[in-house]
A and B are shown apart, each in its own frame.
Chain A
Amino acid sequence: GAVVSQHPSWVICKSGTSVKIECRSLDFQATTMFWYRQFPKQSLMLMATSNEGSKATYEQGVEKDKFLINHASLTLSTLTVTSAHPEDSSFYICSARVIRLAGGGGNIQYFGAGTRLSVL
């Protein structure tokens, strides 16, 4: 299947600094990418939907100025956690969508391996 690469896998930073997480679709073009956040023993929570060349759509309760999303190309989306604080510590997962035009099955999403952010 398609591969989504997420980097870094783990980052530790001081409170007040900004952290950038990259998400790349390695062998396909993704017009839409998604960013999720996951707390321990919880399911994935959608933060925002990112469409190439346009502004991201944020879910209710997610601060767009806090979590900056850039989707400048069909294979790369970035999430920047600005002025990170300890409460931002979480597991962040990106996903890229492939639109299947033939053969049915609708749209397929492939997930990155996730980034564990620890803010001290």
Chain B
Amino acid sequence: KNQVEQSPQSLIILEGKNCTLQCNYTVSPFSNLRWYKQDTGRGPVSLTIMTFSENTKSNGRYTATLDADTKQSSLHITASQLSDSASYICVVSAEGNTPLVFGKGTRLSVIA
């Protein structure tokens, strides 16, 4: 069964600190993996996308890694800001005309 598991479920960090969010998946055959940021009451916004041949990708203070062998991904946030408070969702796409598989997300709270 295609699944995406994220950890931790929630996280509270101080402004300026770094943090790393984890994503494990069992989706096969793998096509791509995306990290989305979803603010409360808004739609998801894409942060990064990686195919099986890419093992790291950065977008400003966000850096995602992918290990296609172990089927794990991480999202590292550097020098966190209050505006980083949101849910971060790991989404994996399988090859072909199949629905996306969503993780349940990690709810990040950045506090002053």
Contact = CB atoms under 8 A, between A and B. Distances in A.
Interface of A: 1, 6, 32, 34, 41-44, 46, 49, 91, 93, 104-114, 116
A110 B99 contact: no
B42 A113 contact: yes
Contacts of A109: 93, 100
Contacts of A34: 99-100
A24 to B, nearest CB: 13
A49 to B, nearest CB: 7
A93 B99 contact: no
Contacts of A32: 97
A106 B105 contact: no
Interface of B: 31-32, 36, 41-46, 49, 51, 53, 89, 93, 95, 97, 99-100, 102-105, 107
A2 to B, nearest CB: 10
Which 6 pairs across A and B sit closest by C-beta, in order of nearness? Answer: A106-B31, A114-B43, A111-B43, A113-B43, A43-B104, A111-B44
Given A1-B46, A106-B93, A113-B43, A43 B99 contact: no
A91 B103 CA distance: 17
Q: Which of A93, A104, A107, A112 has the most CB of B within 10 A?
A: A107
Question: Residue among A41, A43, A49, A110 with the most chain B CB within 10 A?
Answer: A43
Contacts of B43: 6, 93, 111-114
Given A104-B51, A106-B93, A106-B95, A44 B31 contact: no
A41 B104 CA distance: 9
Given A49-B99, A107-B31, A109-B100, A43 B45 contact: no
A105 B32 contact: yes
Nearest to A113: B43
B60 to A, nearest CB: 15
B103 A107 contact: no
Contacts of B97: 32, 107
